[in-house]
Amino acid sequence: MKKEILLLLFGFILFSKNVFSERNKEVGVVEYKKFEWKSSDYCYKIYTKYLFDTISNLGFKPEWIEMDIFLPENKTERDRYKRIVISTSAIWFTPEMYEGMDDYVKSGGLLITNSSLIGIDINRNYKLDEGDKYEANEIVGVYGHASAQMSKIFVEIECPLTKGIPVGEWISLEAKVAGRVTINKSATVLITSDRIYKEETSGNQPFLTYKHSGKGACIYIVPVLLDLEKNKYLLTILKNALSKETLEWLTIGE
């Protein structure tokens, strides 16, 4: 009996190692060309392509992946990526895709999103139309809606994601950045910012968060990642999110 238990345990260890060893791709960026809405082409060129190029310039070799990577039939390919990045313009996904994101994170992946992922393509037709709805996303753990600007940040927790940014003091950004009005639901807030809504300062809000789930985590970078050369702290946050140190800190298995 003892021998059988040891064999089972040994088999489980081998299986676990083999499963994780297949996670051999560093970064996948969701291209998000398949979903149709009035600003899709513009947003791809301005936000998504720019983010892809910036990740390349940081020394990574990102690969374009379709939004369908999150469907159940693509799990094997999905789980080859250590990190998957979703840009600010990727808002609507089907319920099955959100389930795939949840599975990706729980199985040890690091989801890095600049979108609050609140749009649900209910009828699964890859178009924004009647019936689609907005809803807070449990994977992200932060509800982001409407538009806001941010001009200063405050690091709440020193960790690999906030490395290189002064802790415990308000820091002015080189330029105001756009993003979402955010409300924390269940995430860990690492950086807080001010909130400028309709040209008036309206309290503070999450700026950088993460949420653990299973063996992995979801990082949410609230400000739009654009013109990073004008905001060194935003570039620092992106570098940190992609770093090996952060991957090892937030995921289990490597």
Q: What is the pLDDT of residue 40?
A: 82
For the chain, the domains span 22-141+208-250
| Class level of CATH domain 22-141+208-250 | alpha beta
Give the model confidence (pLDDT) of 4-35 as tens digits: 544 444 444 444 444 444 899 999 999 999 99
Burial of 192 (0-12, 13-18, 19+ CB in 10 A): buried
Question: Which residue do the tokens 């503070």 mark?
Answer: 204
Q: What is the pLDDT of residue 4?
A: 54
Question: CA-CA distance, 20 to 252, in Å (whole number)?
Answer: 10
Question: CA-CA distance, 54 to 238, in Å (whole number)?
Answer: 9
Beta-sheet pairing, 110-113 with 81-86 = parallel
Residue spans of the chain under pLDDT 50: 5-21, 254
Q: What is the pLDDT of residue 41?
A: 87
Q: What is the pLDDT of residue 217?
A: 98
Q: What is the pLDDT of residue 62?
A: 98
Q: What is the pLDDT of residue 253?
A: 58
